Structure 1
C-alpha cells in the first residue's frame, strides 16, 4: 500500500478508456506519459470524468478531452479513493499523510474534513461508498505500520460514518482483509470484497448494519472492487490472477461484467495491464450503459 502518489515507470503510459456494455467496444479517451491518473468517477451530468493524479483531482471533459486541474485547498495530497456526493456539486476524497476523508466542492475551493472526530485513534480511512441520500459514507478502516515509505496493513475492516463525521460504526469483524464497500442504488446492501470465505478476495454483500453476509463470486481469481450501475442492473469488478496478494499495480487483469445479479455467470468485458488505480471507485456513467477504467501499458 503506497504512502504517496504513484508515478509512471519509464516507458509506461496511462490510458483512460470508456467501455460500452451494449456493443462490447472500448474507446480510448486520453493517453499520457506525463501523469499517472487513477480511479475515474463519472459526473452526474454525464459530461466529464473526475480522476486523481499527482496528489490532486483532475477533470476530463468528454466532449473535448483535456485535463483541467481542480484547485482544492485545506487538505493533504489525494489518493485514489474518491466518490461523488449525490448532490453532484461535491466530492468526498481520501488523503495521504493524515489518512482522513474530506468533502470538497467539485468546482474547486476549500475542503472540509469529515473524519477524525469519531472512531478509533490512528485509524486510516479509505472511502469507497456514499449512500444514495448522501447521509452515510462507507469506507475501509485500516490499522497499519509505515515501513520504508509503504504502509504494512495489520487490519482492514468495513466501517460507516455520517456525512457530518458522527456515528462511526465498524460493521465487519472477521479479522481478515475487506475492501471496496459500496452502497447499492436502493441503499439496501453494501457490496465489497473480502477474504473471509476462501482466503482470497471474493465479492460479497451485506446489509448496511452488517447482517445478511452473502458470498457472490466463487472463483479462483482474486476479485476486487464491485461497482453497481446506477440502475442496479449491472455490476463490474476487477479480477486478479489466482495467487495475487492485495490489489497491486502492473499486472494483467480482467474486468468482469455481471447482468441482473447473476453473479454465478459473469461475462468477460476487458483484459488490460493495470490493477491498482484501474477501477478503485465507481466509474459508471449515469446512463448505466458505459463505465470508465484506466490501463497502464508499457512499451
Structure 2
C-alpha cells in the first residue's frame, strides 16, 4: 500500500491568462485546430471539406467528401498531427444528419504520409453501424480489415503499443470491445488524426468529435513512484459525459477537490498543495507550513472549515501522518495521528467535524480507523485480513463507503458509520473498483475502475481506466469516462456542489 509523493519542479501550461507564480507560465495549449496541427483533403476530392474547432466546448466539427477509403487509394477530410512511438487516440464520435451512403465513414486514422495510397491503420465507423479496423500494409496495396462485433459505437479508441494496434469501441456508458492487429509496420513517426469520408464524391458529410484525446503513455519500463509523466486537469458533467481540459502540467499533478462554492480546485504536486481559480485561471500555493511532503490524501470537511492533509512525517521515519489545518494556511497544521503506530492516509472528515476516518497500517495490515477529535482516541472500524481503503462519509453521516478486496477482488462497500452492517455494492470481475465519492446531494457514487489485470490490492499509475457512476444505494454502474490515469486521478472527494460535475486528473507524457 503506497501513496505518491512527487518530486521535481511543477511546470504547468494553462488555457488563457495565467499566474506567473514560480514555475507556472502563460502558455496557450490550443491553436486554430485545437490539439491538432493541420487539416487537409487527402486524395484531392472534388468537394473540399473543412474543420471547425469550438474552443469553449473543445469539440471538432468536420465536413468531408471523397469517393471512398478502400482498395489502393483514399479520399477524405483529415485533421491531424504528427507523433512518434506509442500512443492512445480516443474520442466520442457522431454523424450529423441521416447521410446519403450507408458506407460513409468517420474515425481515427494513422498514416505514414499524406498521399491517398499511404500505408495506414484506420478505426472506421460506418454510417450503417459497421465497425472495422482497416489497414493498408504497403504503399498502393489493397486495403484489408478486421470486422468488430461492436455495432454503431460512439466512443472510438485506437492504440499503438509496441507495434501492435488495438481498436476499442463502445456505446457510451458500456465497456470496450477490442480488436487487435499485428504485423502492420508503419513508421515510428506517423500522422494521426480524425477523418470524415462521404463514400460519394458528390456528397459532403458532417460529424462532431468530442472528448478528443491524444495520449502519450508511460514507457513500459517506467519505475512507479520514481518516474512520472505529465498530467491534465479535467472537469466533467456526469449527466452528459462531456469533459473539458482546464490545464496541463509537464509533471504529475493529482487529486483535485472542488471547493469554495465551485469557484476553485485544490490539488497536490511536488509535496505541496495548490489552488486553481476558475474565474481567473490563476494558481497559487497553499501555505502548509512545515508540511511540505504531502501525498495525495487531502480532504476538506463538508463545511470546508477544515483541511486535512497526509504528510510524510520526518519525525517518524518519513511515514505518512495526518494533520488538520486552516484551509487558508493562516495557522500551522496540527498532527492528529501518533508517531510510531504506522502509516496513516486520510480519507474523510465526519459531517459534524468530530471524527476523521483513514486507512491505517496497524497490526501488520491495512484497515479503516478513526480518531475522535475531542479525545484524540484512535478507533479501529474494520478488521479484515485483506485491504480496506478509500473510506468516505455520506453527507448525512449515517454511512461510510469504502473499497475492499475482502471477497477476493477490489469492490465497493457501504457500512454504518460505526462499522457495522457492511454491504457489498459492486461485484463485476471485469473491474477493480477504488475510491467511492458520494455526491453532495447523497444520490450518486463516482469511482475509478481499474482493469482486472492489475495486482491484488494495487491502484497503480498509468492505466487504461474508467470512471463509473452508480446510485448511492447500489445498482448497475455506468461508465462516464474512459481515461488513461489511475493513481492520483480521483483519490479524494471531487464533486462540485451541484452534484453534476466532477474534477479529475488524466495523464500523458
TM-score (norm 1): 0.89
Say whether residues 1:202 and 2:411 are aligned partners. Answer: yes
Structure 1 unpaired stretches of 5+ = 145-153
Equivalent of 2:395, from 172, 179, 185? Answer: 185
Which structure has more RCO (C-alpha within 8 Å, separation ≥ 6)? 1
Change (3 A) 1:209 1:89: closer
Q: For the Cα contact (< 8 Å) 1:102–1:111, is it kept in 2?
A: no
Change (3 A) 1:249 1:164: farther
Q: What is aligned with 1:115?
A: 336
Q: How far has the Cα of 1:178 moved from its partner?
A: 1.0
Q: For the Cα contact (< 8 Å) 2:4–2:296, is it kept in 1?
A: no
TM-score (norm 2): 0.53
Q: What is aligned with 1:4?
A: 5
CA offsets, 1:79-131, max 9 Å, x none?
Answer: 100111234233100112242111122222333323234xx942211001111
| Superposition pairs of residues 26-65 of structure 1, within 5 angstroms | 26-33=243-250, 35-65=251-281
CA distance in 2 between partners of 1:185 and 1:57 (Å): 24
Q: For the Cα contact (< 8 Å) 1:114–1:163, is it kept in 2?
A: no
Equivalent of 2:425, from 209, 216, 223? Answer: 216
Say whether residues 1:272 and 2:483 are aligned partners. Answer: yes
> Aligned to 1:72, what secondary structure does the other structure show?
coil
CA distance in 1 between partners of 2:368 and 2:252 (Å): 28
Change (3 A) 1:297 1:137: same
Structure 2 unpaired stretches of 5+ = 11-217, 219-226, 313-317
CA distance in 1 between partners of 2:273 and 2:247 (Å): 16
Say whether residues 1:22 and 2:23 are aligned partners. Answer: no
CA distance in 2 between partners of 1:256 and 1:224 (Å): 10
CA distance in 1 between partners of 2:7 and 2:394 (Å): 30
CA offsets, 1:243-264, max 9 Å, x none?
Answer: 3121110111000011353x33
Q: For the Cα contact (< 8 Å) 2:5–2:294, is it kept in 1?
A: no
Change (3 A) 1:75 1:252: same
CA offsets, 1:155-214, max 9 Å, x none?
Answer: 1100111234612111111111111000011111100000111x1210001112111010
> Aligned to 1:157, what secondary structure does the other structure show?
strand
C-alpha RMSD of the superposition: 2.1
Q: How far has the Cα of 1:76 moved from its partner?
A: 4.3
Equivalent of 2:357, from 138, 144, 156? Answer: 138
CA distance in 2 between partners of 1:48 and 1:228 (Å): 19
Equivalent of 1:89, from 297, 305, 312? Answer: 305
Q: For the Cα contact (< 8 Å) 2:323–2:337, is it kept in 1?
A: no
CA distance in 2 between partners of 1:11 and 1:122 (Å): 30
- Structure having the higher Rg: 2
- Which ranges of 4 or more aligned residues in structure 1 deviate by more than 4 Å? 6-11
Q: How far has the Cα of 1:28 moved from its partner?
A: 0.8
